[in-house]
Each structure stands twice: as structure tokens, then as C-alpha cells.
Amino acid sequence: MRRNIKSYLIVDGYNIINAWDELKYIAKTDLEDAREKLIDVIIEYAEFTGRKAIVVFDAYNVKNSRETVENRKYITVVYTREHQTADSYIEKFITSLSKYDDVKVATNDYAEQQIILGKGASRISARELKLDLDQAKNRMKQKNSSETKKIQRNWLEERLDKETLSKLENIRRMH
């Protein structure tokens, strides 16, 4: 029996923002901008890798906040409810998935990493996530570059036999 295995990348949003220097710097003055930059990067990654990505931001200390789920292109962004950490949301979400799904969780939180591993998911650190993203971007650039080359090098003379080319050249010279 063949199972429909899904691939997920679950990102502990604030944990990653605080681990990446460029996002941490932005977050000091504009947390919303830092969140959006992280989301944009994860959208690109999800689009290229085909993984379903979920970025979780906790609203643990936000008074009267309700859980909010935004479905965006290629990813889901979750803002947890008041008194719920991203960790607890992620643990609950992983439990809801099939044991056959391929689940990666990006966090630097050691306690969270242990729980993730215990639930059958794999974990990647913020640094490893950054490397994965950079590699995906490089592969995307290479793919786009090779597609551009294919488009640019679509010459008629490369597809015709010598006899036909010669006839066309004679016609061209006559005019």
C-alpha cells in the first residue's frame, strides 16, 4: 500500500528571527518587517523545494490574542493564542500528522529539539536552515540561468541539416 507522504518545514518564527543576525537587527526597530522578511524567504524555499511550510509566531505574552492562521502562497503563517508558545503549537501540530510524513522543524531551542525528535520529526538549527535556504536559492539561480541559456540558444541553424541551411543561405543572398 503506497502512502501519500507529505513534506513539511515548520519554523519557530521568533526563534529564527533572533538567531539570524540580519533579522535580529531589523527586529530591534521593526518586528513586523523582520517577520515579513522571514516569511518571504520561507515562501521562496517552499516554492522551490515543494515542502509545505508553516511559520509559527507565538503570541504568548499578547493579551487577549486569538490564534490566527494566514494561508499564503506556498506557506501557512500561524500566530498562536495568548498563553500558547510556538513550541506547544508545533508539538501539537506534529502529533496531528501522519507518522510517515517527512517533518523538519527549524528551531535553536534545545528542549524543543528533544521533544521534536521524540515525536519522530527531524530538527534543523537556525544555521542549518540558513544553509538550506542559501543552497535552494543557488539551485534556483542555476535552474533559471540554464533555462535562460536554453531560450537564448534556440537558433534555427542548430536544428536544421546542412543542405536546408545552404538553401536558406542562397535564398537570403538572392534578396
**Residue 154 clears pLDDT 80, i.e. is over it:** no
* Residue for grid cell 522578511: 37
Phi and psi, residue 12, nearest 5° = -80, 95
Q: Is the pLDDT of residue 152 over 70?
A: no
Q: Is the per-residue pLDDT at 1 higher than 70?
A: no
Burial of 43 (0-12, 13-18, 19+ CB in 10 A): middle
Q: Which residues pair with 11 in a beta bridge?
A: 55, 106
Interval 126-150 mean pLDDT: 80
- Segment 151-159 mean pLDDT: 65
Domain boundaries 7-174, CATH class: alpha beta
Length of the chain: 175
Confidence of residue 145 (pLDDT cuts 50, 70, 90): confident
Are the C-beta atoms of residues 35 and 4 closer than 8 Å to each other? no
Strand, helix or coil for residue 77: strand
Which pTM value belongs to this model? Answer: 0.76
pLDDT at 160 over 80: no
Model pLDDT for residues 53-112, shown as the tens digit of each residue = 999 998 755 667 788 889 988 899 999 988 888 888 998 898 888 888 889 999 888 777
Q: What is the pLDDT of residues 17-58, one digit of tens each?
A: 999 999 999 999 999 999 999 999 999 889 888 889 999 998
- Confidence at residue 172, expressed as pLDDT on a 0 to 100 scale: 80
pLDDT score for 142: 79
How confident is the model at residue 55, as a pLDDT? 96
Q: Is residue 54 within 8 Å of 16, Cβ to Cβ? A: no
CA 154 to chain centre: 32
